[in-house]
Amino acid sequence: MAQLAYELSFKGAASDTLAAAFDNAILTTRHGVTTVHAVIRDQADLQGRIARIHALGLELLEVRLVAELASDDLAWIDGP
């Protein structure tokens, strides 16, 4: 099954401590908005990441599907 790459954006700049709450993801901050770039394995994973943003008291701004990934595209997230 192909997996999906998503970007979840929230208001504010993520500290290193906050970034650690988003395991297996890459965070970028620009113009006061932090974007979590992550491979989402299924709808439960997506809902869990959205719930984590809300639980941390962050304001979710956008959820965007970026790409459908083939298994060989996952090296950046799964490691060698």
Q: pLDDT tens digit string along 3-61? A: 799 999 999 998 888 889 988 899 999 999 999 999 998 999 999 999 999 999 999 99
- The answer to whether residue 80 is domain-embedded is no
- The answer to whether residue 22 is domain-embedded is yes
CB-based burial, 8-42: b 16+ in 10 Å, e otherwise: bbbeeebeeeebebbeebebeeeeeebbbbbbbee
Instruction: Label residue 53 exposed, middle or buried (CB < 10 Å: 0-12, 13-18, 19+).
Output: buried
CATH classification at residue 49: 3.30.70.260
Q: How many domains does one find in the chain? A: 1
- The answer to whether residue 33 is domain-embedded is yes
pTM of structure: 0.79
Q: What's the CA gap between 3 and 74, in Å, rounded?
A: 9
